[in-house]
Amino acid sequence: MNTLVSPMDSVAVAIVGSGGAGSITAGSLLLEAAGRIGWYGLMTRSVGPQIRGGEALAMVRLAGAPVGSHGDHFDVLLALDWHNADRFVDEVPLNANSLILAEAEAGEPPAVIMASGARLVTLPLESLAEGVEEGRPNIVALGVLARLLALPLDELLIVASRALERKGLDVDLLQETLKTGYDAAEILDDSIRALPPAPARGTRWRLTGNEAAALGALRGGVRFAAVYPITPATDLSEWLAVRLQRVGGHLIQAEDEIAALNMVLGASYGGIPSLTVTSGPGLALMSETLGLAVAAEVPAVVVNVMRGGPSTGIPTKSEQSDLNMALYGLHGDAPHLVLAANTVSDCLSATQWAVQLAEALQCPAIVLSDQFLGQSQAVCEQPVDHDGLGVASRLVAVEPGSAGRYDRYALTDNGISPMALPGTPGGQYTADGLEHNAHGIPSSRAADHRAQLDKRRDKLLHYDYGPLWADEEGDGELAVVVWGSATGPVREAAARARAQGLAVKVLSLRLLFPVQPTRLSALLAGVQRVLVVEQSHSQQFYGYLKAHYALPGEIRVLNQPGPLPIRPAAVLTQLLQWR
């Protein structure tokens, strides 16, 4: 749970550089070192379009409690150079309290950055680096930041040597480079912005949302994946490929997204929990196959790491604009599961749960993650085993046909019919996208269509989804309803609002379909004002809520499209205006 109360509870550092300056590496090492001594944190990155050598920005936020979003301002902007840095100005809001540390030889900072009123201090990072064999300015800069943030140098050395030894950097020289920066930062001793070191903590992890989702899939029992590369989902597939093999599974790169999901269906039909990973354009290609999974009642999980849309859109940025497609993008009446992760570590729970649900309900599940969650590195608590999370279990027909003819699509009380796995004698059936009768024979008869439509709908409606369907925090007449990565800034805003005496309830939905109107109404009992927050241009989430739920009282919507994240201050302003 996010308990950040005020900006003073966190430190936000941005590092920018280009042409191989290594700003992303520096940010990552900073996060890891801070994590090791007990801080929580979040790191995101932003890059130019070049494959190498482009302008690159690392954004790190550190705090004494789990960090769900970036704050409203950055405390420090460290510039290794200023090439094309003004492309990032929207992502690194600065104010008069901010400190800009810039390479002395880099020239004037862009006017738009100086217009923030931040204080500028230049440091000769390049020439300091030249003073050490193999010295690199970004490592010097890390030494500077260590002193500024009161981070122990030896922690930085440990993480740096582990990461960089592989790339041929010598440990002793690294140490010397870090110390050079540390010493040079003496002039900043009046500017120290550190958080107090955290108390000793239990096991914590450092991982991205994509890694978390992959792990959730493995925990859920996935042992086959078929994927097609697409930004920002590819690193999930790459992480999964190696680990899947170690647990006896297999990941195959297909020739396109349509093939990928069809491979998943084939493997799933054969009895193995299976998954694919994609982004918006890929999910669009998968529509027809998803419908097949619904009609033939074959489990499958599709993780959609959303990016800016529509069409090719903004591949490297986040947005919550695939909601409509995930919910409504299949032809025919094709009810299916739609889930969403709302933090980096929740990518694990959401995906694991999706695997369990898809297997139990014999249908496809779309898990909506996004570029922000997927590619942010977070230091967070080790995800515990939630109540309700475990290894997926499918209702398999053990001795099909022993009590008469085996009917794959038999009409059962709860709508779930046992599935015979190929190889099982007596269970032979042909799975079909054509509408069919209980036995699986294609049928165009009204009674069969109605019966099977009811079955496929009712199996989802009758299922008990338990407490995981939504996260509820706080209480009050004012509630914020949110989903996905917008949850982070909402939680922070809510905490700040409560600190100012305003009671706010936050409801973050994890299960988007099937809808849970009764449960939502119960959670919103007594609420008079509802603020809906989402990162989409056309208010997709608000439209969804209006269509399927009865929201109490007065409703307002705070929405914006990508590429910029929603800031806590923007939500807080809405809340305070509406007390």
User: Which range binds other proteins by CB under 8 A, 48-56, 326-334, 433-441, 526-534?
Assistant: 433-441
Residues 6 or more apart whose CB falls under 8 angstroms from that of 493 comprise 480, 568, 569, 570, 571, 572, 575
Residues 6 or more apart whose CB falls under 8 angstroms from that of 444 comprise 435
Read off φ and ψ for residue 506, nearest 5 degrees.
-120, 130
332 binds other proteins (CB under 8 A): no
User: Which range binds other proteins by CB under 8 A, 57-65, 101-109, 422-430, 446-454?
Assistant: 422-430
- Of 378 and 532, the one with the shorter C-beta distance to other proteins is 378
**How is residue 396 annotated by DSSP?**
B
Query: Distances from the Cα of 567 to the Cαs of 49, 56, 485, in angstroms?
Result: 25, 21, 11
Ramachandran category for residue 156: left, alpha or beta (phi over 0 → left; psi -120 to 50 → alpha): alpha
What x/- string results for residues 215 through 254 when contact with other proteins is judged by CB under 8 A?
A: x--xx---xx-x----------------x-xxxxxx-x-x
Q: At which residue do the structure tokens 């308990």 appear? A: 3
* Strand-pair partners of 337: 365
Q: At which residue do the structure tokens 């499209």 appear? A: 561
Residue of 430, 500, 518, 538 that binds other proteins (CB under 8 A): 430
C-alpha 402/C-alpha 484 separation (Å) is 46
- Of 116 and 289, the one with the shorter C-beta distance to other proteins is 289
29 binds other proteins (CB under 8 A): no
- Of 430 and 528, the one with the shorter C-beta distance to other proteins is 430
- Of 107 and 442, the one with the shorter C-beta distance to other proteins is 442
**How is residue 364 annotated by DSSP?**
E
* Strand-pair partners of 531: 480, 556
C-alpha 567/C-alpha 570 separation (Å) is 5
C-alpha 527/C-alpha 552 separation (Å) is 7
Within positions 336 to 355, which residues make up the interface with other proteins, using CB under 8 A?
none
449 binds other proteins (CB under 8 A): no
Residue of 424, 458, 521, 578 that binds other proteins (CB under 8 A): 424
396 binds other proteins (CB under 8 A): no
376 binds other proteins (CB under 8 A): no
Query: Distances from the Cα of 453 to the Cαs of 402, 449, 458, 540, in angstroms?
Result: 27, 6, 8, 26
- Of 247 and 550, the one with the shorter C-beta distance to other proteins is 247
423 binds other proteins (CB under 8 A): yes
- Of 442 and 526, the one with the shorter C-beta distance to other proteins is 442
- DSSP of 127-186, one letter per residue? HHHHTSTT--HHHHHHHHHHHHTT--HHHHHHHHHHHHGGGT--HHHHHHHHHHHHHHGG
Residue of 169, 411, 441, 557 that binds other proteins (CB under 8 A): 441
Q: Which amino acid is at 279?
A: S
422 binds other proteins (CB under 8 A): yes
49 binds other proteins (CB under 8 A): no
Within positions 167 to 226, which residues make up the interface with other proteins, using CB under 8 A?
203-207, 211, 215, 218-219, 223-224, 226
User: Which range binds other proteins by CB under 8 A, 42-50, 94-102, 187-195, 419-427?
Assistant: 419-427
Q: Is the peptide bond before 310 cis (omega within 30 degrees of 0)?
A: yes
Residue of 10, 28, 234, 268 that binds other proteins (CB under 8 A): 268
Residue of 130, 172, 183, 288 that binds other proteins (CB under 8 A): 288
User: Where on the chain is the footprint of other proteins (CB under 8 A)?
Assistant: 32, 35-36, 203-207, 211, 215, 218-219, 223-224, 226, 243, 245-250, 252, 254-256, 258-260, 262-272, 274, 288-289, 292, 296, 379, 382, 420, 422-434, 441-442
